[in-house]
Chains A and B, each alone.
Chain A
Amino acid sequence: MKKHNVIMASLFFGFLGVMAIGYFFSRDTFSRMEKRYLAEAPKLSWSRFLDGSWGKQTDTYLIDHVPGRNLYVGVNAYCEMLLGRQKTKSIWVLDGKLVRSPVSPQPEFEERNVAAVNRFAQELEIPVSMALVPSCGFALEAPEYDDDALIESVYDKTALETVDLRNIYRNKPELYYSTDHHWTSAGAFECYKALMYAWGKTPEETYTVEGFDHFRGANYAASGLWLTPEETLELWTGPATITVQNNELTHEGVFYRERLEDYDPYMVFLDGNQPFVQLHNPNGTGSLLVIRDSYASSLAGFLAQSYENVILVDLRYYRQPVSQLAASCDRVLILYSLENFLTDTNIVLLK
């Protein structure tokens, strides 16, 4: 009996010792699997100790740096899935795809954002089009995704010319990534064609396609379902020579290939989210201003096949008057995913 107790105590303290050593040697500040920074060790002060914030931060630090964290996160995610609790999470598994849970529309956001784009369009003398991209859940025809009615509601309220993309993506989940919330390059190409036809232009249809086979996107990182296989991210190169002005730096071509090795390979398109990007194609015609979210990052390369200048503005980061940019353009496109249009608080800054 005594021997048994000694063995149990040794195992227990051995486990504690290994964990303590693991914490001591934990040097990671960023989790590539979860695509996020891990909590920093909290600084102790009397005020922080007394108001409880030090305790909370210590909890977070210990959780983030527990040895074998990825294993625990993964086991937990698969257990939740097996217990049928997947739909309480932000990422759902539908037909083998990791998709974001349906958007919870807030009517006041919708009203404010529609009013902002209407107001903006009224003050311009050039055509302003709006295109909302439905979700992957909609493409999978999952009943919880009411994109049909939500897009209809926005389009009914706006005075802008609308380009309806719903029938392009309905029942076409292959136009979305399986591990990311964005559309694939093929999905972006379908949108490009729809826009060109709507505006009476002929789309460029000749491309060479390269594949990057190790893509796992943002939904993978948020899901914890680590056994989900990698997928292919395609780079479609058209015939035009495109120069990108990004953050005051000039770049040849729309693909930032070094980003393929980064934590989020989707940043290969235009170097990720940027406040202001300008694409120039000397053989294109006309200038297009795109007020956009990240979906337009992979669309812009296609648009630049047809336009001489494509200017992209992301209202999450761009605070200057957008109407000044519109003055040099022939057309404005407001392109958002449905989810972002219904939830983004920055659209009201559009001026």
Chain B
Amino acid sequence: MKKLICVLITVCLVLSLSACGKKEETASLDIDVLYESFQQYLPDMFFPDEATLMNFLGISVDDCVRYKVAICAEGLRADEVWLIEAKDDTALKKLEELAQVRIQSKLDETETYAPDQYLIVQKAEVLTNGRYLAFFISPDVESMKAGFEAAFQ
């Protein structure tokens, strides 16, 4: 019995130590290709330039290695997509915070005037994998979330 316990403790120790090792590098992601795959779920979108990204969303392109940010250009829909590879962990954290600020801003904007869009914004997703960030506001948020997760498998 004692031997069995010793073996189990050893196995647990080895497994926990192995978790302390170097993180596996995140797979590289082609943001443009991924965005292409999401287009089937999106209406006509507008792509802000660098100055607008900064002034409108607070996103500094210096924090991004690559990015694709798209905002609905059509009518009253709240659809929005950010796919960003952050420069480093600090930049990633900052981008995550900006995404949360954006969600709150969209909630405030839609709460009184567009209850159907408010419901969609409430289901917004902010996802990270390695230094990649994905932010989705869409009626098809679940499909886009699945697409982002599948891109790393």
Q: Evaluate contact between B115 and A348: CB separation under 8 angstroms.
A: no
Q: Evaluate contact between B115 and A30: CB separation under 8 angstroms.
A: yes
Report A271 CB to chain B, min CB distance, Å. 11
A227-249 vs B, Cβ < 8 Å mask (1 yes, 0 no): 00000000000000000000100
| Cα separation A36 to B119 with both chains bound (whole Å) | 8
| Cα separation A40 to B142 with both chains bound (whole Å) | 14
Query: Which residues of chain B are within 8 angstroms of A320 by Cβ–Cβ distance?
Result: 73
Per the 8 Å Cβ criterion, residues 32-47 of B in contact with A are 46
A103-138 vs B, Cβ < 8 Å mask (1 yes, 0 no): 000000000100010000000000000000000000
Interface size class of A (residues with CB under 8 A): 20 to 34
| Cα separation A35 to B113 with both chains bound (whole Å) | 9
Interface size class of B (residues with CB under 8 A): 20 to 34
| Cα separation A274 to B72 with both chains bound (whole Å) | 14
Q: Evaluate contact between B108 and A218: CB separation under 8 angstroms.
A: no
Q: Evaluate contact between B113 and A275: CB separation under 8 angstroms.
A: no
Which A-chain residue is minimally distant from B145 (CB atoms)?
A47
Q: Determine chain A's interface SS by DSSP, over half rule.
A: loop
B66-81 vs A, Cβ < 8 Å mask (1 yes, 0 no): 0000011101100000
Q: Evaluate contact between A316 and B52: CB separation under 8 angstroms.
A: no
Q: Evaluate contact between B52 and A349: CB separation under 8 angstroms.
A: yes
Q: Evaluate contact between B115 and A319: CB separation under 8 angstroms.
A: no
CB of A58 closer than 8 Å to a CB of B: no
Query: Which residues of chain B are within 8 angstroms of A36 by Cβ–Cβ distance?
Result: 111, 115, 118-119
Which A-chain residue is minimally distant from B73 (CB atoms)?
A319
Report B57 CB to chain A, min CB distance, Å. 8
| Cα separation A263 to B115 with both chains bound (whole Å) | 10
Given A36-B118, A37-B119, A319-B73, residue A218 in contact with residue B52 (CB < 8 A): no
Which A-chain residue is minimally distant from B109 (CB atoms)?
A316
Given A275-B76, A348-B55, A349-B52, residue A37 in contact with residue B109 (CB < 8 A): no
Contact of A37 among B48, B75, B116 (CB under 8 A): B116
Q: Evaluate contact between A273 and B115: CB separation under 8 angstroms.
A: no
Query: Which residues of chain B are within 8 angstroms of A247 by Cβ–Cβ distance?
Result: 75
CB of A272 closer than 8 Å to a CB of B: yes
B99-118 vs A, Cβ < 8 Å mask (1 yes, 0 no): 00000010011011111101
Q: Evaluate contact between A275 and B119: CB separation under 8 angstroms.
A: no
| Cα separation A348 to B116 with both chains bound (whole Å) | 25
Given A316-B109, A348-B56, residue A35 in contact with residue B115 (CB < 8 A): yes
Q: Evaluate contact between B75 and A294: CB separation under 8 angstroms.
A: no
Contact of B105 among A35, A40, A218, A345 (CB under 8 A): A345
Report A103 CB to chain B, min CB distance, Å. 12
Q: Evaluate contact between B55 and A37: CB separation under 8 angstroms.
A: no
Q: Evaluate contact between A37 and B52: CB separation under 8 angstroms.
A: no
Q: Evaluate contact between B113 and A273: CB separation under 8 angstroms.
A: yes
Given A36-B118, A247-B75, residue A272 in contact with residue B113 (CB < 8 A): yes
| Cα separation A263 to B118 with both chains bound (whole Å) | 15
CB of A207 closer than 8 Å to a CB of B: no
| Cα separation A346 to B113 with both chains bound (whole Å) | 15
Report A239 CB to chain B, min CB distance, Å. 31
Query: Which residues of chain A are within 8 angstroms of B73 by Cβ–Cβ distance?
Result: 319-320
Q: Evaluate contact between B52 and A348: CB separation under 8 angstroms.
A: yes
CB of A70 closer than 8 Å to a CB of B: no
Can you spell out 7 A-B residue pairs with CB atoms less than 8 angstroms apart? A30-B115, A36-B111, A36-B119, A37-B118, A112-B55, A218-B112, A344-B109
For the complex of A and B, 4 pairs with smallest distance between CB atoms: A348-B55, A319-B73, A37-B119, A319-B46
Task: Contacts A37-B115, A275-B76, A319-B73 known; list 18 others, CB within 8 Å.
Answer: A30-B115, A35-B112, A36-B111, A37-B119, A112-B55, A272-B113, A273-B76, A273-B114, A316-B109, A317-B75, A317-B76, A319-B46, A319-B71, A320-B73, A344-B109, A345-B56, A348-B52, A348-B55
**Which residues of A pack against B, CB within 8 Å?**
30, 35-37, 40, 112, 116, 218, 222, 247, 263, 272-275, 294, 316-317, 319-320, 343-346, 348-349
